[in-house]
């Protein structure tokens, strides 16, 4: 009898009446054929697969993860809030042990949205995984979380939000930033001085096939997870590595995605990108759902699948092996790297420039973080958007030490009101958010 | 005058209605082993001293197919399924004669792998050798493109009595349910056909020659001829008959709960502005899931004859029935005995009822009166708890658009309508306990037969228009037409309405009762490839809503005098 080996929760929210604009890849049609395939397969009738209705994320949920400028209402639509709310519903189902794991098939995606959000970047306005992860940490008191981003694009938003956080392991495997948006995610990008090695970026050469993806999972991601010992594994399940995706140049397939899911065993998967809506998504999503539920997926093969055509070259294989070796050695040295990154008590400054391709905004940031050995360290971000506002966001991490909490309030209170349009304080230990 | 006859598990009810009200009603015992004679004796008694030429309409609801499923007396059927990519079709096996074959159609209805005609020929031979006479053919995504099913049928036709195709079953997607439903239609076809041909012949001998309508699970009717293609649609028409019988008394513009309290179970359903809620996909009972349109009903194993027991100070009610209430000579105390003890019911032997309730009272350490009260209250609480769970479930049903998420309908019933024998006694108690306006439907003991008599013809069409591929289809209706790039929503709705009308007429609908058309679903998508628009996909489902035929509204509010004859 057909039955889920693992009880699996699904939120399916295709937002059939929402698009960035009518011909944009992020449009109404995107999950239409996925819905057709999943419905025709009778997925929601399978004992052990439970469909949940999404909920609306609240401004409070977003304020745990991001500084929205000028505020949450201005830069989101209901669709963004339902998408983030859908991830939250799955988190509740998994954390409440109603299901063993869950998959939020929602749109729009979120992984390009950063700590400070002035609007849309890479089709993302708010970061749905980060909002979910911060919700889980506050509501369920979970300490160590790993986010594995398998979207073809560097998950630069999530990377940025957890940059200084040693308790959240963020691993992104993506097409090499030299060949694609957003142009970041190189092996040297390892997280902030207090959290070196808790962000791992694995660029893959164009043309990487199933063999390459599974090599990285088996030889890098799984061993690192074994050592990190997360309480929860989240997969940002982008599907744009597919060999037919119009925005990327990779050779991954439905069987590969399903196998990756079986290996990774995420507690929660959240859909990210994926724009081969007809030839890939119906099969990839079906494969992921079946893999999560522990149901045989060997029959889930794209009609035009031809493994011979998709084989990766020897030089690609070599490149991937070299990258994996490099990442593994960074990971092994992470504590030494943190020691070398700065002296406790010192303030470190970094400057960044961020371009919002979706909303055509240019942002300049100056970030100051306290070097701390006891926590992730409080930090402030001075951000000026053109067009847009000049703001200061102060973040006190959820596991902050006493000194860093005090320092966070000092940042906030001493910030000159006349310099900024808005000043925000995100106090994670108290789960509060202040604006002045 | 019109006739409704509903075969129930223990009794068969039949009524004759006129514009003036109930002209006559009869109740005969159901013989599950001989439903034909049960139906016949119902008609014989009903038509006594009635001029059959006065009868304009006959609707019959039976448990024939339901019994065949429960007793597994269905015909062996050959099933040929082609799945293409996806879940292994072996999981959906219906029996020994089940073959998964090559061939694949994708979600857009495009052929991805052809049918292997040699393979089909080979299977036809094997089925023939096994003595199989009826075959079902189902291909995945046949509702987008049925050409594989049609081709396979062409090969099989000459070998078998009848070949049933998946795309005729429903316009809904769901391959496993389509397999189960096609199989069911094929498996009960012979039984259904011989039964109703015999009924038709016997009624004709009695001078009753108006076309016979059959009640479906969705509370609508179809003509006897139409039912031959989809005999499976008659399963669970019993609960539908009762619910339809409550409609005349349902509040207008409000939501209502319908509870049909029977001997062993209570059926629960919902009305929104006098129209019953339907299952979103199709009938499901436990593991059995189908694409058969159905009222949204569920049942709880509690009724007037449920067995009462006490163990370790805890009262249990049902789910079994060991016979009638002790007040009526049964072996174990029941909720009916509690009603008798409480003085709510003045029929039956009060002494015997009291003796039964006394054993319960002792087990619970209560007075007889208090124990009876506890039984009664517990029954109400269990039934209502299940009802509220169903409402929560309906209101938490997933939605797929921002609009439905924000504006979607929330069911919030303000009235409870009770049916069945004990209904009048329960009404006040439920109202006291839950502060919801509750009343027993007049003539609730024959509401099922009234529901059958008054149910109008229902049907649904599903259309898919794809301007990139230049075609609008409703494969369930064997309809496909070319369209231009400028095909619009209005064009779609016009096409849908015409198809719906045609289907309704073919199912025996009276043109007077065809104005309750509802657009159940409408979606429009731009097809975009490489950043440029290629066309549009339009989808719609349109239905003739379940409801009552016109002309009998008034009489039902008067509780007319009529002859009641019991057999
Ligand atoms: Zn992407
Ligand atoms: Zn600190």
β-strands B134-139, B77-82 pairing:
parallel
The two tokens of residue A403 are: 């000194």
Residues A423 and A320 in one domain: no
Give the chain B residue whose CA is nearest to the CA of A245.
B530
Residues A73 and A200 in one domain: yes
- Compute the average pLDDT of residues A213-234: 98
- Compute the average pLDDT of residues B252-278: 93
pLDDT in tens, B91-119: 999 999 999 999 999 999 999 999 999 99
**What CATH number is given to the structural domain containing A97?**
3.40.800.20
Cα–Cα distance, A406 to B238 (Å, whole number): 71
- Residue B407: per-residue pLDDT: 83
Overall number of domains in chain A = 2
Cα–Cα distance, A165 to A186 (Å, whole number): 18
Mark yes or no for CB contact B402/A17 under 8 Å: yes
Q: Is the pLDDT of residue B564 over 90?
A: no
Q: Which of A45, A77, A290 sits opposite B177 (nearest CB)?
A: A45
Contact B179, B94 (CB under 8 A): yes
The total number of residues shown for chain B amounts to: 567
- Residue B296: per-residue pLDDT: 94
Residues A212 and A321 in one domain: yes
pLDDT in tens, A94-125: 999 999 999 999 999 999 999 999 999 888 89
CA angle B314, B319, B324 (to 5 degrees): 100
- Residue B405: per-residue pLDDT: 87
Contact A425, A433 (CB under 8 A): yes
Buried b (16+ CB within 10 A) or exposed e, A10-44: bbbbbbbebbbeeeebbbbbbbbbbbbbbbbbbbe
Percentage of chain A modeled with pLDDT above 70: 100
Contact residues on chain A for B403, CB-CB shorter than 8 A? 17
Higher pLDDT, B404 or A177: A177
Q: Which ligand is nearest to the CA of A238?
A: 1
The two tokens of residue B557 are: 């509010």
Q: What is the ipTM of this complex?
A: 0.94
Question: Of all residues in chain B, what percent are helix, strand and coil, respectively (each to 5)?
Answer: 40, 30, 35
Using alpha carbons, select from B146, B83, B80 the residue that is nearest to residue B109. B146
A380: three-class secondary structure by DSSP: strand
220-279 in A: which are within 8 Å (CB) of B? 246, 278
The two tokens of residue A194 are: 């207090």
CA angle B440, B442, B445 (to 5 degrees): 85
Residues A314 and A346 in one domain: no
Q: Is the pLDDT of residue B565 over 80?
A: no
- Residue B498: per-residue pLDDT: 96
Is A351 designated active site?
Answer: no
- Residue B555: per-residue pLDDT: 60
Residues A108 and A238 in one domain: yes
Residues A319 and A403 in one domain: no
Tell me which residue range forms the domain holding A243: 8-335
Residues of chain B contacting A, Cβ within 8 Å: 83-88, 91-92, 104, 106-108, 112-113, 140-141, 173-177, 284, 287, 289, 396-403, 405-406, 523, 525-528, 530-533, 537
pLDDT in tens, A386-427: 999 999 999 999 999 999 999 999 999 999 999 999 999 999
Give the chain A residue whose CA is nearest to the CA of B171.
A40
- Could you please report the per-residue DSSP string of B87-142? S-GGGG--SSSEEEES-EE-TTS-EEE---HHHHHHHHHHHHHTT--EEEEEETTT
Cα–Cα distance, A434 to A409 (Å, whole number): 11
Mark yes or no for CB contact B405/A42 under 8 Å: no
Asked which of A335, A356, A387 is the last residue of a domain, the reply is A335
Q: Which of B104, B174, B528 sits opposite A23 (nearest CB)?
A: B528
- Measured between CB atoms, does A306 come within 8 Å of chain B? no
Residue B375 burial class via C-beta count within 10 angstroms: exposed 0-12, middle 13-18, buried 19 and up: buried
- Compute the average pLDDT of residues B329-349: 93
> Is residue A18, in this structure, part of any structural domain at all?
yes
Give the chain B residue whose CA is nearest to the CA of A22.
B526
Q: Is the pLDDT of residue B284 over 60?
A: yes
**Strands across the sheet containing A145-149:** A49-52, A8-13, A101-106, A268-271, A232-237, A145-149, A168-175, A199-204
Q: Which of A17, A36, A42 sits opposite B403 (nearest CB)?
A: A17
Q: Is the pLDDT of residue A340 over 50?
A: yes
Mark yes or no for CB contact A40/B528 under 8 Å: no
Q: Is the pLDDT of residue A436 over 50?
A: yes
Cα–Cα distance, B104 to B490 (Å, whole number): 33
Q: Which among A111, A112, A125, A154 is annotated as catalytic?
A: A112
A 10 A CB-CB count for B286 gives: 5
Mark yes or no for CB contact B525/A29 under 8 Å: yes
pLDDT confidence band for B287 (50 / 70 / 90): confident
Cα–Cα separations (whole angstroms), residue B94 to A296, B90, B100, B133: 20, 9, 11, 16
Cα–Cα distance, A244 to A407 (Å, whole number): 50
Rounded to the nearest angstrom, the gap between the alpha carbon of residue A405 and the centroid of all alpha carbons in its chain is 26
pLDDT in tens, A149-205: 999 999 999 999 999 999 999 999 999 999 999 999 999 999 999 999 999 999 999
Asked which of A335, A361, A388 is the last residue of a domain, the reply is A335
The total number of residues shown for chain A amounts to: 436
Higher pLDDT, B216 or B511: B216
Mark yes or no for CB contact A41/B91 under 8 Å: no
| C-alpha distance from A14 to closest chain B C-alpha (Å) | 6
Mean pLDDT across chain B: 92
Residues A347 and A312 in one domain: no
Q: Is the pLDDT of residue B556 over 70?
A: no
- Residue B343: per-residue pLDDT: 92
- Compute the average pLDDT of residues A28-36: 94
Asked which of A335, A363, A393 is the last residue of a domain, the reply is A335
Contact B549, B509 (CB under 8 A): no
> Is residue A3, in this structure, part of any structural domain at all?
no
- Residue B20: per-residue pLDDT: 86
Cα–Cα distance, A393 to A381 (Å, whole number): 5
Mark yes or no for CB contact B398/A2 under 8 Å: no
> Is residue A2, in this structure, part of any structural domain at all?
no
> Is residue A1, in this structure, part of any structural domain at all?
no
Q: Is the pLDDT of residue B557 over 70?
A: no
Mark yes or no for CB contact A296/B84 under 8 Å: no
Contact residues on chain B for A47, CB-CB shorter than 8 A? 287
Using alpha carbons, select from A407, A334, A399 the residue that is nearest to residue A369. A407
Q: Is the pLDDT of residue B558 over 50?
A: no
A 10 A CB-CB count for A188 gives: 7
Q: How do the domains of chain B map onto residue ranges?
A: 459-544
Mark yes or no for CB contact A40/B140 under 8 Å: yes
pLDDT confidence band for B563 (50 / 70 / 90): very low
Q: How far apart are the first and last CA of chain B?
A: 23
- Measured between CB atoms, does A52 come within 8 Å of chain B? yes
- Compute the average pLDDT of residues B321-345: 94
Cα–Cα separations (whole angstroms), residue A193 to A238, A406, B280, B559: 28, 20, 54, 85
């Amino acid at each position: 009898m057909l039955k889920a080996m693992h009880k699996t929760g699904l939120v399916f929210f295709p937002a059939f009446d929402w698009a960035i604009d009518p011909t944009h890849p992020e449009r109404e049609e995107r999950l239409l054929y996925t819905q057709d395939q999943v419905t025709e397969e009778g997925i929601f009738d399978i004992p052990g697969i439970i469909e949940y209705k999404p909920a609306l994320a609240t401004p409070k949920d977003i304020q745990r993860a991001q500084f929205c400028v000028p505020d949450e209402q201005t830069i989101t639509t209901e669709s963004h809030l339902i998408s983030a709310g859908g991830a939250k519903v799955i988190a509740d189902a998994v954390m409440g042990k109603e299901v063993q794991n869950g998959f939020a098939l929602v749109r729009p995606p979120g992984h390009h949205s950063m700590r400070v959000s002035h609007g849309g970047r890479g089709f993302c306005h708010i970061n749905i995984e980060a909002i979910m992860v911060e919700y889980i940490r506050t509501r369920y008191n979970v300490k160590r979380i790993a986010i594995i981003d398998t979207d073809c694009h560097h998950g630069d938003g999530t990377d940025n939000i957890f940059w200084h956080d040693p308790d959240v392991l963020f691993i992104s495997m993506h097409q090499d930033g030299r060949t694609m948006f957003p142009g970041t995610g190189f092996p040297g990008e390892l997280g902030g001085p207090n959290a070196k090695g808790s962000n791992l970026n694995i660029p893959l050469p164009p043309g990487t096939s199933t063999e390459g993806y599974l090599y990285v999972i088996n030889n890098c991601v799984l061993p690192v997870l074994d050592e990190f010992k997360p309480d929860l594994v989240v997969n940002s399940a982008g599907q744009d590595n597919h060999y037919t995706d119009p925005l990327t140049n990779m050779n991954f397939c439905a069987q590969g995605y399903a196998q990756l899911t079986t290996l990774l065993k995420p507690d929660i998967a959240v859909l990210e990108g994926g724009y081969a809506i007809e030839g890939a998504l119906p099969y990839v999503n079906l494969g992921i759902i079946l893999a999560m539920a522990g149901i045989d997926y060997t029959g889930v093969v794209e009609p035009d699948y031809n493994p011979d055509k998709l084989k990766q070259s020897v030089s690609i294989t070599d490149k991937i092996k070299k990258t994996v070796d490099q990442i593994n050695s960074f990971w092994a040295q992470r504590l030494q790297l943190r020691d070398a990154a700065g002296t406790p008590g010192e303030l470190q400054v970094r400057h960044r420039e961020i371009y919002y391709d979706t909303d055509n905004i240019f942002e300049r940031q100056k970030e100051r973080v306290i070097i701390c050995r006891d926590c992730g360290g409080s930090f402030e971000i001075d951000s000026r958007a053109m067009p847009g506002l000049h703001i200061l966001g102060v973040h006190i991490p959820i596991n902050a030490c006493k000194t860093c909490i005090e320092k966070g309030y000092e940042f906030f209170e001493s910030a000159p009101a006349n310099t900024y349009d808005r000043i925000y304080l995100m106090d994670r230990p108290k789960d509060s958010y202040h604006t002045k | 005058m019109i006739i409704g006859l509903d075969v129930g598990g223990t009794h068969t009810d039949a009524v004759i209605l006129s514009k003036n009200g109930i002209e006559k009603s009869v109740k005969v015992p159901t013989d599950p082993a001989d439903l034909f004679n049960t139906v016949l004796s119902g008609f014989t008694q009903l038509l006594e001293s009635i001029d059959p030429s006065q009868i304009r309409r006959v609707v019959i609801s039976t448990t024939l197919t339901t019994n065949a499923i429960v007793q597994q007396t269905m015909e062996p059927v050959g099933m040929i399924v082609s799945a293409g990519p996806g879940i292994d079709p072996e999981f959906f096996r219906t029996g020994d004669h089940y073959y998964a074959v090559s061939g694949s159609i994708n979600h857009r209805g495009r052929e991805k792998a052809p049918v292997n005609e040699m393979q089909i020929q080979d299977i036809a031979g094997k089925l023939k050798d096994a003595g199989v006479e009826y075959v079902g053919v189902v291909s995945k995504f046949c509702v987008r493109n049925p050409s594989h099913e049609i081709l396979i049928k062409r090969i099989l036709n000459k070998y078998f009595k009848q070949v049933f195709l998946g795309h005729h079953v429903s316009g809904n997607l769901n391959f496993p349910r389509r397999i189960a439903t096609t199989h069911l239609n094929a498996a009960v076809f012979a039984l259904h056909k011989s039964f109703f041909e015999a009924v038709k012949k016997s009624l004709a001998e009695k001078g009753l020659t108006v076309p016979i309508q059959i009640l479906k699970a969705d509370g609508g009717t179809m003509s006897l001829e139409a039912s031959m293609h989809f005999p499976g649609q008659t399963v669970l028409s019993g609960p539908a008959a009762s619910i339809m019988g409550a409609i005349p008394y349902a509040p207008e513009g409000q939501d209502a709960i319908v509870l049909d309290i029977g001997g062993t179970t209570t059926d629960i359903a919902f009305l929104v502005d006098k129209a019953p809620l339907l299952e979103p996909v199709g009938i499901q009972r436990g593991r059995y899931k189908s694409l058969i349109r159905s009222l949204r009903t569920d049942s709880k194993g509690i009724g007037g004859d449920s067995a009462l027991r006490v163990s370790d100070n805890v009262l249990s009610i049902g789910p079994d029935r060991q016979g009638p209430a002790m007040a009526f000579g049964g072996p174990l105390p029941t909720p009916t005995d509690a009603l008798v003890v409480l003085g709510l019911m003045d029929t039956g032997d009060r002494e015997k009822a009291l003796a039964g309730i006394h054993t319960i009272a002792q087990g619970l350490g209560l007075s007889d009166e208090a124990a009876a009260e506890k039984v009664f209250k517990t029954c109400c609480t269990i039934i209502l708890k299940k009802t509220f769970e169903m409402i929560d479930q309906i209101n938490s049903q997933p939605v797929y658009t921002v609009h439905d998420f924000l504006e979607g309908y929330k069911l919030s019933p303000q009235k409870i309508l009770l049916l069945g024998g004990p209904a009048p006694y329960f009404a006040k108690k439920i109202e006291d306990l839950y502060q919801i306006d509750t009343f027993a439907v007049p003539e609730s003991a024959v509401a099922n037969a009234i529901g059958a008599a008054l149910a109008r013809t229902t049907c649904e069409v599903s259309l898919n228009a794809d301007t990139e591929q230049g075609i609008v289809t409703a494969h369930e209706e064997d309809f496909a037409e070319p369209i231009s790039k400028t095909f619009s929503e209005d064009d779609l709705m016009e096409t849908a309405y015409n198809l719906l009308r045609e289907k309704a007429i073919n199912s025996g609908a009276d043109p007077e009762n065809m104005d309750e058309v509802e657009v159940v679903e409408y979606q429009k998508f731009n097809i975009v490839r490489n950043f440029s628009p290629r066309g549009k996909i339009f989808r719609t489902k349109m239905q003739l809503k379940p409801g009552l035929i016109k002309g009998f509204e008034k009489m039902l509010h008067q509780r007319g005098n009529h002859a009641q004859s019991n057999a």
